[in-house]
Amino acid sequence: MCAVAGAVTLSACTGTTPPTVVPAPAPPTPDPPKITCPAPQTAQAVDGGAIAVSYAAPIVTSGQTPVATTCSPAAGSSFTLGQKTVTCTVTDALQRTDTCAFTVTVTSPPKLSTTSFLAFGDSITYGEDGQNSTAPSAAIMSSRFHPAVQVPFSQQYPEDLRKDLAGRYTTQAPSVANKGQPGEAAADSATLTRFANLTSSRAYSVALIMEGSNDIFYGDAANVPLAIAGLQKMVRNAKGLGLKTYLATIPPMNPPACDPVCRGRDAWPLVSGLNDNIRALARDEGVTLVDVYQGFGGDLSLVGADGLHPSAAGYARIADLFFTAIKQSLELPSVSATGVRTLHARTASTQ
């Protein structure tokens, strides 16, 4: 019998060996960090000066935590006109690093190749509200030579267009002269004379033409080719003097609208055919078409209470359609000071 005493252990008495404790294996070292930069960025300066540019944070994978990421210049920094490289670096707890780079390109503010616009047309260009509640008789009210009352200046399509242009082309001062004449028809000889006097003044470099509603006012289909002939003379006059020319279709009419009278009732069946001819004229003469009729999209809420003149929203739609056409055809290409556009990101790694 073995007595357990002092430093003698039970295993010494029994002859057994205690289990061996095996330490856990060390966790594997993670892969080195990997950083991926955002795509190249392009921003447009407002006035040609520096502009703050924000960009997404780079994506980091792997690495021993904690990892630290820095980019220079940092997101939100001011960038001047031209192209600058942003370099981003990630460093993990084992001091391993990876870098990537991408470009930020700041382009010049948008500009037009020319800024002086002539808005020529009838009472729709003039900006008539279609009400004329002070007219002395229903007969005058129903004719195309009715007393003209304009909508507020800010709602007239030429002024609305000017504001659109000024809002985008902030380093220029675009002007849009409202030369609408109520009661005027494209086929009237006086119309071409008035147009030619304006274009020959050399005060304008762009002609915006929208005529024809009065030519079909009384529902006479024979006036359609006469209107097209008058429009062709105006287009050729403008082209001959070197004016950039835009030719618009006329807006739709709403025959049931009769406040104070039904101004669209007789003419509306001829609107579609007249506009088809206007489209063909623009194509044949090589001028820019502004398809106001199509741009209304069949929405008769854009036509006012008399069935002929646009509502406030309709006048705004006309301005938007001209603005889009002008932006597409007269806006100069936007480039950086170096003339360099966006480059592909590059990646480098040190481990």
Give the pLDDT confidence of 148-188 residue by residue, as tens digits: 788 999 999 999 999 999 999 999 999 999 999 999 999 99
How far apart are the C-alpha atoms of 97 and 176, rounded to whole Å?
58
**Fold agreement (34-109+336-350, 116-330):** no
Q: Are 41 and 105 in contact (CB under 8 A)?
A: yes
**Residue 19 pLDDT level (bands cut at 50, 70, 90):** confident
116-330 folds as Rossmann fold (3.40.50)
How far apart are the C-alpha atoms of 200 and 195, rounded to whole Å?
9
Rounded percentage of the chain residues whose pLDDT exceeds 90: 76
Instruction: Please state the φ and ψ torsions of residue 119, each to the nearest 5 degrees.
Output: -95, 110
pLDDT > 70? residue 349? no
pTM listed for this prediction: 0.77
pLDDT > 70? residue 276? yes
pLDDT at 18: 74
How far apart are the C-alpha atoms of 280 and 206, rounded to whole Å?
21
pLDDT at 144: 81
Cis bond upstream, residue 73 (ω within 30): yes
Query: Distances from the Cα of 46 to the Cαs of 8, 10, 74, 296, 334, in angstroms?
Result: 90, 88, 21, 32, 12
> Would residue 152 be called left, alpha or beta, if left means φ above 0 and alpha means ψ between -120 and 50 degrees?
beta
How far apart are the C-alpha atoms of 259 and 255, rounded to whole Å?
11
- Beta-strand ranges (E) seen in the chain are 34-36, 41-44, 51-52, 59-61, 68-72, 78-79, 82-91, 97-107, 116-121, 175-180, 206-210, 244-248, 288-290, 346-350
* Per-domain residue ranges of the chain: 34-109+336-350, 116-330
- For Cα atoms 152, 126, 255, give the angle at the middle one, nearest 5 degrees: 95
pLDDT tens per residue across span 89-123: 999 999 999 999 999 999 889 999 999 999 999 99
Indicate the class that CATH gives domain 34-109+336-350: mainly beta
